[in-house]
Amino acid sequence: MRPTILLLALVDRIAPTRLPHALRDIGFDVGLLADPDCLVARSSYIDYRFPLSVAGTRMGLLKPIIRVITEFTPRLVIPCDDLAVQLLQHLAVAHEGARAPGGQLRVPVPPSVRETLLRSLGDPRGFATRNSRALARKAAASLGIGTPVGAQIPYLQAAETFAAEHGWPVVLKRDRISEGNNVRVCNSPEELRAAYAALTTSVDKGFGVVDRARYLAWSVLSGFHLAGDLCGPQRGPPLLSIEVFVAGRPACYAVSAYSGRLLAGIAAVADAVYPEPFGQPSLVRLIRDPDMAEAARRMVARVGFTGFGGVDFMREEATGKLWFNKFDPRPTPLCHLGQLAGGDLCTPLMAAVSGTMPVPQRGAKETTVALYPLDWARDPDTADRGAEHLDVPEDDPRLMAALKAQIPRRLAA
């Protein structure tokens, strides 16, 4: 009997759309718990489909998720986005039932579900570090990984003082890992003030009249059985951090890990990003980089990580030095490229959950890859993308059509 794995998606992202194919190829039966119309649901390599109301989940209707995990009994549950990460983390440690502020009733989480989630996510003592840029930067520095000079910012004047001391440009970041563009590069006091306003008001604004009416309607329809929104961090004052700007190229190390042990990884440096100048990598060079691999190994061990994730860096142009950026506790755009890179991420994870011997990994192959559809969105008209490999899902026409339809938009990778 083939082992099962369950993907949970709450946000449309490109990165996990190719993962079902890679997982199925190495022997998993793949289940998907998501909105039937989301991008990853267009994959032809999903064996079991469980429809999910994202709006209902955000309001606190969690029993459908618990029921699917209980009945499907996956070896692992893989969160495909940051909201899914937060939700599964909350459920994994909900020993007396899951309830967020505003929820009317606690939703009981059976011990078997908690066991599955803890096996899928790794050590819960590392959850806080995974979710916070500031804590992850502090952990990286303690492990000997290069980190830019930075500080937490309780108010705007502190950010202005930091910039005056260290010079422009500076990078303002929202501390909590979440969906959307939560990083701003500021070249002047005016840009810093605008970035501060955007990062402290866009996400932390309170519920409006429409939101309260919607919550009341859901409460009545559910018989006042809502658990509240467990898909995000607890509400509170906005937490920002500021760093000196490092001129260089984005670099990343995609990983698969089990119980804090790095199983395999893929190192890459971005030759182009979309949207420019600070978007997601769209044209990448897969490289051999022992320094990046060692830094990722240390971070994975520190946070006790299990699953697919990644460590983001900035590679300084002048010296080639790596500077830590953040830890991603969910699949990244490189996770399906293992066969191409010679660093398959899925096979050793299968071996880890099955208790078998992993297949020996080939040495990483250095090559260039144009990632679809991001590089096509960056430059839709070029005939030569300067890549040895075009990462186009031609073997999955349904998914390819869905991704092609996204090209004119700004995409979340």
Give the DSSP H/E element, type plus range, for residue 376: helix 374-378
Region at 60 (left for phi over 0; alpha for psi -120 to 50; beta for the rest)? left
Cβ atoms of residues 256 and 349 within 8 Å:
yes
pTM confidence score: 0.93
Instruction: Give the type of residue at 263.
Output: L
- Token code pair at residue 266: 């893929």
Strand runs labelled E in 217-279 = 240-244, 248-258, 261-274
Q: Which amino acid is at 260?
A: G
| 393 neighbors 18 (Cβ within 8 angstroms) | yes
Say how far apart CA 289 and CA 268 lie, in whole Å.
9
Q: CB–CB of 292/322 below 8 Å?
A: yes
Full DSSP string of 330-354: S--TTTT-HHHHT--SHHHHHHHHH
CA dist., res. 406 & res. 12, Å (int)? 11
Give span(s): CATH 3.30.1490.20, the chain.
Answer: 149-203+238-243
pLDDT of residue 180: 62
Q: Rounded distance, CA 329 to CA 113, Å?
A: 20
Which part of the chain is CATH 3.40.50.20?
4-121
- Sign of the C-alpha dihedral, residues 89, 95, 98, 99? negative
- pLDDT (tens place) for every residue of the chain, 413 residues total: 789 999 999 999 999 999 999 999 999 999 999 999 999 999 999 999 999 999 999 989 999 999 999 999 999 999 999 999 999 999 999 988 999 887 899 999 999 999 999 999 999 999 999 999 989 999 999 999 999 999 999 899 999 999 999 999 999 998 877 656 788 999 999 999 999 998 887 554 555 677 678 778 888 878 888 998 898 765 555 689 999 999 999 999 999 999 999 999 999 999 999 887 677 899 999 999 999 999 999 999 999 999 999 999 999 988 889 999 999 999 999 999 987 776 789 999 999 998 876 666 666 678 999 999 999 999 888 878 989 999 999 999 999 999 999 886 544 45
Could you please state the CATH topology (level 3) that the domain comprising 247-404 is classified under.
D-amino Acid Aminotransferase; Chain A, domain 1 (3.30.470)
Q: Which of 3.40.50.1820, 3.40.50.920, 3.90.550.10, 3.30.1490.20 is the CATH number of 149-203+238-243? A: 3.30.1490.20
Nearest one of 43, 32, 40 to 4, comparing CA atoms: 32
Amino acid 338: pLDDT = 82
Give SS3 for 172: strand
Alpha-carbon distance of 264 to 362, in angstroms, equals: 11
Alpha carbon distance 99, 97 (integer Å) = 7
Which residue ranges does the chain devote to CATH 3.30.470.20?
Answer: 247-404
Smallest Cα–Cα separation from 113: which of 164, 62, 42? 62
**CATH, domain 4-121, list 3.20.20.70, 3.40.50.20, 3.40.50.720, 3.40.50.2000:** 3.40.50.20
Question: In angstroms, rounded to a whole number, what is the distance separating the alpha carbons of residues 329 and 120?
Answer: 11
pLDDT of residue 239: 83
Residue 195: exposure state from Cβ atoms within 10 A (0-12, 13-18, ≥19): buried
Alpha-carbon distances of 235 from 2, 231, 253, 406, rounded to whole Å: 41, 11, 31, 32
Q: Does residue 191 contact residue 242 with C-beta atoms inside 8 Å?
A: no
Tokens of 327: 């830890």
d(CA 389, CA 368): 6
Residue linked to tokens 């520095």: 141
